[in-house]
């Protein structure tokens, strides 16, 4: 209760907060402004047995020239992952590659990165943005798979009513190579197309986990909510999945480098590291989302607006730093 009230107060004054103060908050949740900072964060997390997913901050662009920056930067990311021998994947936002400006050029840009990543067994996750591009993003995944680039999967947001149908469709079309990152969804969508209250979102999330597991998909369970995490652990156990157990589902993706046996738990950088470390100690594969880049301010503002509890976590980290390690 205190956290929710504190967070809402912070959000209400965001427009007048100095940028340096937002930057101070962002240090916990963003690796830094450059690739070197991201590599440093990844190496540190690997010491805790966590693998990572790298995201270059930035999304909807205004010109195709801007897309070239993201193509070249992700090439640098892939090179760095290989050079440093890191257990890492990459995460890209389709709109940053020009998908909404020119569909064919956007597909070409995304394909370049997926092809380069595939050469060294790096998985590419397509981040899910707001509902305007949900279908476009899914279509890109299916297009990449039609080109035999099966190292590509997407994020699906359980708050959306359509997600169960999307899970079923993608699993049917990709025939044993479906790979999802399931999450509640950070974008606050209209009530006509999404669940809007906490309990409904959690229930939808848990049933999406069940459905994806039962359809033999690889499932990245992206949540900091203990209700969801505990439900997922029970769901895995009931299907004979878990630490030290080989994935015996008939059509699940097999032998993907850097992946777990059918599932993994995923966390944002700086959030609930204690829960992540406990899961890792139990033998679960855990992955941390590592954002970096010059657009840290926009990313941080969105996170704070759409998840006011982050402000409470930051405040606790100030007061009780020994309990709030990344």
Domain 31-292 grouped into CATH 3.20.20.220 = yes
HSE, side-chain direction, 13 A CA sphere, residue 147: 16
Q: Token pair 């190292």 is at which residue?
A: 151
Per-residue confidence (pLDDT) for residue 226, from 0 to 100: 95
Domain residue limits, the chain: 31-292
Mean pLDDT (the chain, rounded): 88
Per-residue confidence (pLDDT) for residue 20, from 0 to 100: 58
Q: 159-184: per-residue pLDDT in tens?
A: 999 999 999 999 999 988 999 999 99
3-state helix, strand, coil in the chain (%, to 5): 50, 15, 35
Per-residue confidence (pLDDT) for residue 13, from 0 to 100: 59
Q: 62-97: per-residue pLDDT in tens?
A: 999 999 999 999 999 999 999 999 999 999 999 999
Could you write out the DSSP letters of every residue in 250-275? TT-----TT--SSEEEEEETTS-HHH
Could you write out the DSSP letters of every residue in 28-90? TT--BSSHHHHHHHHHHHHTTT-EEEEEES----SSHHHHHHHHHHHHHHHHHHHHTT--EEE
Local structure of residue 293 (DSSP, 8 states) = S
Per-residue confidence (pLDDT) for residue 21, from 0 to 100: 58
CA distance 177 to 181: 13
Local structure of residue 14 (DSSP, 8 states) = G
> What tokens does 207 get?
């049933």
* Cβ(285)–Cβ(260) below 8 Å: yes
Question: pTM of the entire structure?
Answer: 0.88
* Cβ(54)–Cβ(90) below 8 Å: yes
CA distance 234 to 126: 28
* Per-residue pLDDT at 204 exceeds 90: yes
The stretch 266-285 carries a mean pLDDT of 94
């Amino acid at each position: 209760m205190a956290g929710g009230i504190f967070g809402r107060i912070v959000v209400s004054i965001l427009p007048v907060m100095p940028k340096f103060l937002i930057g101070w908050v962002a240090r916990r949740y963003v690796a830094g402004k450059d690739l070197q900072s991201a590599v440093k964060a990844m190496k540190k997390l690997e010491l805790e047995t966590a693998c990572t997913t790298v995201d270059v901050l930035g999304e909807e662009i205004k010109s195709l020239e801007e897309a070239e920056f993201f193509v070249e930067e992700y090439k640098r990311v892939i090179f760095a992952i290989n050079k440093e021998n890191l257990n890492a994947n990459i995460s890209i936002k389709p709109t940053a590659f020009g998908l909404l400006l020119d569909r064919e050029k956007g597909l070409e840009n995304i394909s370049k990165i997926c092809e380069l990543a595939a050469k060294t067994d790096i998985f590419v996750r397509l981040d899910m943005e707001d509902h305007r591009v949900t279908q476009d993003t899914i279509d890109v995944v299916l297009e990449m798979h039609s080109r035999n680039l099966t190292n590509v999967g997407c994020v699906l947001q359980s708050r959306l009513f359509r997600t169960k149908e999307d899970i079923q469709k993608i699993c049917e079309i990709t025939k044993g190579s479906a790979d999802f990152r399931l999450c509640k969804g950070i974008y606050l969508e209209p009530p006509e197309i999404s669940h809007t209250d906490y309990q409904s979102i959690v229930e939808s999330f848990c049933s999406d986990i069940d459905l994806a597991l039962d359809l033999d998909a690889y499932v990245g369970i992206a949540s900091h909510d203990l209700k969801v995490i505990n439900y997922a652990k029970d769901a895995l156990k009931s299907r004979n999945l878990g630490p030290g157990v080989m994935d015996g589902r008939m059509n699940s993706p097999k032998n993907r480098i850097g992946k777990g046996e059918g599932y993994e738990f995923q966390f944002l950088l700086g959030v609930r590291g204690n829960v992540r470390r406990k899961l890792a100690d139990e033998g679960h594969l855990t992955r941390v989302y590592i954002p970096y880049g010059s657009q840290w301010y926009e990313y941080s503002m969105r996170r704070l607006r759409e998840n006011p509890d982050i402000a409470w976590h930051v405040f606790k980290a100030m007061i009780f730093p020994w309990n709030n390690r990344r």
